[in-house]
Amino acid sequence: MEFVKGIKEKDVLEISDILTGEWFGKEVVLRGFVHTVRDMGEISFVVLRKYEGLVQCVTDSKVKGLEGKALKEGMTLEVKGIAATEDRAPNGFEVRLTDIRVLSEPAKDSTMPLPISKWKLNTSLETKLSLRPIALRNVRERAIFKIQEGLVRGFRDFMFQNHFTEVRTPKIVAGNAEGGANVFKLEYFGKKAFLAQSPQFYKQTMVGIYDRVFEAAPVFRAEKHNTTRHLNEYTSLDFEMGYIDGFEDIMDMEAAMLTYTFEFLKKEYAKELKLLDVKLPAADNIPAVRFDEAKQLVAEKYDRKIKNPYDLEPEEEILIGKYFKEEHDSDFVFVTHYPSKKRPFYAMDDPSDNKFTLSFDLLFKGMEVTTGGQRIHNYEEQVDKMVKRGMDPEEFTNYLMIFKHGMPPHGGLGIGLERLTMKLLDEQNVRETTLFPRDVSRLEP
């Protein structure tokens, strides 16, 4: 009988082990992908790709283990050799090999379809996406998603520190919070079901249980527009909090969260930030402007006519972003008090003017990355608003149950993770910052 006790020590090292300095002049063992091979005659340079970066290895004819086999991009190796400082090599060291063991090989006669070892993949987005499983092996491409990982980690850390509970709400649902046509339908054992457009109903429900909750999970929108900023599946960073004094509490929480998260990135993802030359924005002094005022301000400054006082066009968002960058040097701006007719039935109307709501969007470099606001918490008020909108409260019994038995004043928001990453990295298309994007024409890879 064998017993499994935990991780066994191995003599295989990582880049960070060698960077401690204690391995220079000593024999080291490393494993990694063959990233490039450069034959210089007497010697060859073999660069290995590992999760932490690249390692330059030097081989010559005395190296054992290959038996005439040629090294090839896409192989994986275990190498043994002496580590030595070398300023011209990645990470400032190289390994002078004595032994190579081939762990795996690519298909016979295969050639890499993209020059993934180049610094920048100078290929079209279309090509990159079609070859995503390989394109992501490029060091810069993969750095994008380390930064995205950091954004989620920062968000979660901050949430826990501020006593939010993490919840996992269902993605297959009987009805949807946002309504409208952009919902994916599926057959569910003879019943009609949908994919959740947001965790809205469930996160509100969970406020009745834990006071403050959050979730970072996929949401699904059957949007038919094929734009540079829409996805049909994306990650939503949601939080919802009870006992608020107003929707301003939600904006305060978001500003604090962003500030924390950018600090977290600076500390934990410095390598990737440098690799992609990212300048982190400030989020601790974000201007907040009413929807109607914002429209007025950009109409005046940029000499534009206001076509529809109750809607914000993408160009207006861009101009609002520009205005607050120019006038207040801020990459962010909260636009508050969206018109009621543009907000869902659960949004709380402004008691001083019910054509508007106690809600907001956060624009980041001219693009909406967050929608949030205070929700209705009173049962009768919620039923009234539904009826006024022509909705049947009977269809929402499970949702209305929480108000019937009491809910604290509450509100929350949802952040589009891929858009947040996109604007942070100054990318032009949200697909650049989505691992495997889903859009109207793309379901693979």
Closest CA to 353 of 290, 275, 433: 290
Q: For residues 95 and 79, give the distance between their C-alpha atoms in angstroms, rounded to a whole number.
A: 9
Check residue 209 for interaction with a second copy (CB under 8 A): yes
Q: Environment class of residue 150 by beta-carbon count within 10 Å: exposed (0-12), middle (13-18) or buried (19+)?
A: buried
Which one of the spans 6-14, 57-65, 300-308, 343-351 is the region binding a second copy (CB under 8 A)?
Answer: 6-14
Check residue 435 for interaction with a second copy (CB under 8 A): yes
Check residue 440 for interaction with a second copy (CB under 8 A): yes
Nearer to a second copy (CB atom), residue 158 or residue 345: 158
Q: What is the total count of residues that contact a second copy (CB under 8 A)? A: 124
Nearer to a second copy (CB atom), residue 82 or residue 383: 383
Give me the least distance between CB of 278 and a second copy, in Å please: 18
The first and second tokens of residue 172, run together, are: 């297959």
Which one of the spans 39-47, 312-320, 349-357, 394-402 is the region binding a second copy (CB under 8 A)?
Answer: 394-402
Check residue 6 for interaction with a second copy (CB under 8 A): yes
Rounded alpha-carbon distances, angstroms, from residue 316 to 46, 70, 83, 312, 423: 52, 58, 57, 6, 17
The first and second tokens of residue 355, run together, are: 């054509």
- Among the listed residues 112, 280, 318, 391, the single contact to a second copy using CB under 8 A: 112
Check residue 406 for interaction with a second copy (CB under 8 A): yes
Q: By CB under 8 A, what part of segment 133-152 binds a second copy?
A: 133-134, 136-137, 142, 145-146, 148-149, 152
Nearer to a second copy (CB atom), residue 175 or residue 339: 175
- Among the listed residues 28, 100, 177, 286, the single contact to a second copy using CB under 8 A: 286
DSSP characters for 25-66?
TSEEEEEEEEEEEEE-SSEEEEEEEETTEEEEEEEETT-BS-
Check residue 304 for interaction with a second copy (CB under 8 A): no
Q: By CB under 8 A, what part of segment 22-81 binds a second copy?
A: 31, 33-34, 50-52, 73-76
DSSP characters for 205-269?
HHHHHHSEEEEEEEEE-------SS--SEEEEEEEEEES-SSTHHHHHHHHHHHHHHHHHHHHH-
- Among the listed residues 128, 212, 229, 230, the single contact to a second copy using CB under 8 A: 212
Check residue 441 for interaction with a second copy (CB under 8 A): yes
Give me the least distance between CB of 42 and a second copy, in Å please: 27
First to last CA, the chain: 43
Check residue 256 for interaction with a second copy (CB under 8 A): yes
Give the x/- contact pattern for a second copy in 220-249, rule: CB under 8 A: x-x-x-------xx-x------xx-x--xx
Q: For residues 396 and 197, give the distance between their C-alpha atoms in angstroms, rounded to a whole number.
A: 16
Q: For residues 197 and 179, give the distance between their C-alpha atoms in angstroms, rounded to a whole number.
A: 9
On whether the CB atoms of residues 349 and 357 are closer than 8 A, the answer is yes
Give the x/- contact pattern for a second copy in 362-391, rule: CB under 8 A: ---------------xxxx-----------
